[in-house]
Chains A and B, each alone.
Chain A
């Protein structure tokens, strides 16, 4: 078989860093990097599972707290646990709560409604304005205790990040969830508010800034942290003294000047044909593999 000629890859060459010396070292580094990535992903997935398990039994606080006025502790913990969730994880949480006959909204202590009547669809909003009129799946309605809770739950859902937590590393700490009905400002909340104010001015704000900056730079994953992506800025050295453009320069191109678009002269056909011709010359003719 022909060994002299390797087929040309149309893909970009994978560029790995040239920092490590031997191939084994590099291989080990790559293997470790991927192993870490998988481990990290597993940890996060387990975390989400455990959080889901915890949140099935929420809210922990009893009356007078309810969905419109959740206890501060429950709300804070709910927001914290929800950070790594994707919308699909959140849907699973709602489903799990429903299996236990609870309203899908985590901070609601009510059971979900079940009207026990057959049929797949329900008509709602018949006594309001025309725009309120809707036909919805019964299953969708039975996830909640009331329409407000559906709104509260979906208000949270739209704030969750679509990308999995192990890919949003740097921004992970910045996911902040607002509730449609935040805990009512009693004494405790004021204290928390005060705490927040000082935090925002201090390290918290700085951390957030750094995280945002990292996100903007695009170094979100483990790759950037481990230096697997090796970025080096190389200045281009200028050898000859700078020259001002002159008309002599242009003389050769005068006949195509009218085609120039902002300094660039588009070329059709001619150049491609030339290149094609060159490539054909490079080849020692097609179909010569059989000779070897």
Chain B
């Protein structure tokens, strides 16, 4: 075999490995978006590797990663979960703080203020409520400070591609986390006569909290399987 052929073969293999990585991240992020309650079809979520390669191998187009972006709308069930029930004090509560989500993979080898600002501007210009930016490098600390600065307009979350190669919530040791709606949350606290601060806590930066896009003050129900007690639930307040 000539060296040129060998080189070409090696390149193909490297390309294949890279495509496999991207496919796994693509699947995980779709599962994540679906688990949060956005509308995605099962075909979109459970795309096979071959279909994935087919979808993004348009000749003449840019690389795979440049084309990896999509949006999703919240399902009705999700809107209900995020809605604010009317109370005596506030008979006309604000509409649920949820909306269309935009997900984008960024190929850049370093992500700084400029890239983050451009992403934020893209989200605002297209009225996306939430944006998820997936990079293959860590974002600079200065760029991360943009996120709270634009929080009034749009909600930005960041993930590193390598963290999405496996779906952590599929691991057998990670129990199922379910977000409670505001009504369920109130009912729970009333039933046990608790203040929310008396609940055990889950950190905002906890991998599962990040996966579900939890916000401060939300309560998740954690369902564990137990050999002796069947299934039992516990609750945690996101702080």
Measured CB to CB, the residues of A under 8 A from B are: 45-46, 49, 52-53, 56, 92-93, 95-96, 99-100
A45 to B142, CA, bound (A): 10
A136 to B136, CA, bound (A): 27
Total number of B residues with any Cβ neighbor in A under 8 Å: 13
Instruction: Indicate if the CB atoms of B140 and A92 lie closer than 8 Å.
Output: yes
B113 in contact (CB, < 8 A): yes
| CB closest chain-B residue, reference A99 | B112
Which B residues lie within 8 Å of A99 (CB)? 110-112, 114, 140
Chain B contact residues, majority secondary structure = helix
Given the known A-B contacts A52-B113, A100-B112, are A95 and B149 also in contact in the complex, defined by CB atoms under 8 Å?
Answer: no
In B130-185, which residues have CB < 8 Å from any A CB? 140-143, 145-146, 149
Given the known A-B contacts A92-B140, A95-B140, A96-B140, are A45 and B112 also in contact in the complex, defined by CB atoms under 8 Å?
Answer: no
Which A residues lie within 8 Å of B110 (CB)? 99
Given the known A-B contacts A49-B142, A52-B142, are A96 and B113 also in contact in the complex, defined by CB atoms under 8 Å?
Answer: yes
A93 to B146, CA, bound (A): 14
Instruction: Indicate if the CB atoms of B145 and A56 lie closer than 8 Å.
Output: no
| CB closest chain-A residue, reference B109 | A99
Instruction: Indicate if the CB atoms of A56 and B140 lie closer than 8 Å.
Output: no
B221 in contact (CB, < 8 A): no
B201 in contact (CB, < 8 A): no
| CB closest chain-A residue, reference B143 | A96
Which A residues lie within 8 Å of B146 (CB)? 49
A92 to B111, CA, bound (A): 12
Instruction: Indicate if the CB atoms of B117 and A92 lie closer than 8 Å.
Output: no
- Pairs A-B, 10 closest by C-beta atoms: A99-B112, A92-B142, A99-B110, A96-B112, A49-B145, A96-B113, A53-B113, A52-B142, A96-B142, A95-B140
Which B residues lie within 8 Å of A46 (CB)? 145, 149
Select one of B111, B114, B149 contacting A49, CB under 8 A: B149
Report A116 CB to chain B, min CB distance, Å: 14
Which A residues lie within 8 Å of B145 (CB)? 45-46, 49
Which B residues lie within 8 Å of A52 (CB)? 113, 142
